[in-house]
Every structure is written in structure tokens, then in C-alpha cells.
Amino acid sequence: MAGPLLTEISDIFTAAGISDDYISLVFKAVAVCFITQITADICRDSGETAIASAAELWGRAALVFMSLPVMRVLMEIINEMI
């Protein structure tokens, strides 16, 4: 069911000239978001709000670390423009 959707999204990114590495990174970031949200919801349903907050914090940290290569390329582009 998700195969055609993923193919369509990949085709859109490819048509825009975005590298396959960045497409992969976007899909991984979406997966981290879903896993983090599900984990935090399960923890909250169990009454463990502190653990839920920690799970959300670690999910955000994972996204920051995943986005570092994109930020580096963005900074290089900005430096070239200046």
C-alpha cells in the first residue's frame, strides 16, 4: 500500500534535482518522528510522563544529528552566494 506513495514522493524529489541521499534522510527522519511519537504516547498512557518527555527529547536530538549534513551543505551554499 505504501509502495506507490513512496515511489511518487521519490519521483517528486528526483524531478526537483534532490540527491538520493537527501531523499533517504527525509524518509529516515519521518520514521524517527513516528517512532518517537508512538513511544511517547505509550509512555503517557502508562502514566510515565517523565519517560515520555525523555523519549521526545531523544527523538528531537536524533533529528538534529540527522540534519547536520544538510545544514553543512546549506551553509556551503550560503557561503558561495556571499
pLDDT digits (tens, 9 = 90+) for 2-51: 778 878 888 888 888 877 788 888 889 989 999 999 999 999 999 999 99
Q: What pTM was estimated for this model as a whole? A: 0.75
User: Using a CB cutoff of 8 Å and minimum separation of 24, what contacts does 15-22 make?
Assistant: 21/69, 22/70
Q: CA 27 to CA 18: how far, in whole Å?
A: 13
Q: Hey, where are the domains in the chain?
A: 19-81
pLDDT digits (tens, 9 = 90+) for 28-42: 998 999 999 999 999
